[in-house]
Each structure stands twice: as C-alpha cells, then as structure tokens.
Structure 1
C-alpha cells in the first residue's frame, strides 16, 4: 500500500475502525447486512474515503480505511453510523421495533492507526534532525 495524494497533500492515513449495534444484538445479516454495506459504501464515496478491507460480522462492523486529511475520523464514523441507523430503521420494521429509541448503533467506536514505522523511529528521526533545522525539543 503506497501513498495517496490530493491537490496539495501526499498522505498515508489508514485506520482500523470497529463499531457495533446497540446491546451487541446479532442483527447484521440478510437484507440488513447488505443494506448497511451499501450505505457505508455510499458514505465512503461521498467523503473520498477508500475502503482497503471491511467485514460485517453479525454483531459488529470492522473497517480498514484510508481517510484523506481533510476528513476527520470522527466525522466519517458519525456520518456512516448516523445515515445507516436512520435508513435501516426507516426501511426495516423489525429493526425499528427492536431499537425503539432511534439509536441503532452503540455510542462510540474503536479506532487505531496503521503505519510503516513505529513511534520510536519517528522520535529518533526528530532527535537527529531537529537541532539541524533550528527546532529543538522542549527541555
């Protein structure tokens, strides 16, 4: 996986995201599963997010995505969860009855980044190059 570029940026922002339906109910199967997948793909296309890999389990969503710098992770997840929750409850009566409070997804999500180098490598690089460029670490 290489770098991506925009008009003024080159980036490699990969995130592993996980979120689950409320109460971890196993409702992501059949037509609901297909519709959630379709809605999340639409949100990704609108926001310029690339899906590297994704898995819809019966009780949670796993995504490995590349998010451009102008889109925050929280904005992407908020829009994906919000739109899918609203549309799923509108289209599937059995979901609407089970989640009567209009909240399909649990609050929050898990997010971690992926990269080719470790924090130690970055710190060693900054220590090595920081003094030469006139930007030294705080005492």
Structure 2
C-alpha cells in the first residue's frame, strides 16, 4: 500500500493528530456513549472520504489520527464530526440534555490539531497506548 492517496489529479498524504473534549471535560465518554462516539467517528470519517488511522476514545477526551483528503479542511471535518456526534448523543441519551451546563453544546469549543509527518509511528503509538500511561500515573498518585 502506498503512503499516498490518489484522486484524479492529485496525490496526497494529509495526516493529522486531533484531540477534543466534552464540555467542561466531563467524564461522560464511557460505556455506551463512548462506544457510540467511536462508531460515529468511523462512519462520518468514511462518509467524508477520510481514513481513520488510530482512534482512542477516553472518558474525557478523544484522540484521532486521520488522513484527510486535500479538498477537505480540518475545520470542516471537526465541525461535521462534533456537530453530528453531539446531535446523535443528545437524541439517543436525552438525560444528557437535562444538565443545564451543557447549554446545547456537547463538546468544548476548540480542539488540538497537529500535522503528522516524520513522527507518524511515535504519534500513533502514543494515541494507541495513552490510556495505559494515564492509568499508571493515576495508580502512582493513589499510592502517595
């Protein structure tokens, strides 16, 4: 498999590491809501022509390494992902709307994005194993 994707007149490899969080970094992405976020990201990315390379949905944030077609901006991708996922979660889990703090917004306003270049394998490994590192840190803090 080539490192590059191809469209009719372009070869591209636009790969990004993106991180975003629920509003107030609520620890809400566990159990079924977390599984739904995971599935939705795969479905919506495929619809937009993106390729999910790594995905890690943690209880208070999401890490995504994704190849994005050159015709699609990161802000368009994030607007679609965050908007569609929020609508789906609010409709499927109506109890989430009852918390007035949400203000009809499931996600924080911003997100982190970094282009993945030469350090691709390091970043993908970080996304894949980040949850384990956090658990180890929490275990060490609990011992203190």
TM-score using structure 2 length = 0.77
**Counterpart position of 1:120:** none
Does residue 44 (structure 1) correspond to residue 45 (structure 2)? The answer is yes
Distance 1:94 1:33 in 2: 15
The SS at the match of 1:82 is helix
- Provide the alpha-carbon RMSD of the alignment: 1.5
Instruction: Give 1:86-101 correspondences, 5 Å limit.
Output: 86-98=87-99, 100-101=102-103
The number of residues matched between the two structures is: 117
The SS at the match of 2:114 is strand
- Residue 93 of structure 1 and its aligned partner are, at CA, apart by 2.1
TM-score using structure 1 length = 0.80
Does residue 10 (structure 1) correspond to residue 16 (structure 2)? The answer is no
| Higher Rg | 1
Tell me which protein shows more helix as a share of its residues.
2
Q: Answer yes or no: is the 8 Å Cα contact 2:21–2:60 preserved in 1.
A: yes
Deviations 1:53-78 (A, max 9, x none): 01001000100000000111110010
The runs of 5 or more residues in structure 1 that have no matched partner are 118-139
- Residue 94 of structure 1 and its aligned partner are, at CA, apart by 2.3
**Counterpart position of 1:113:** 115
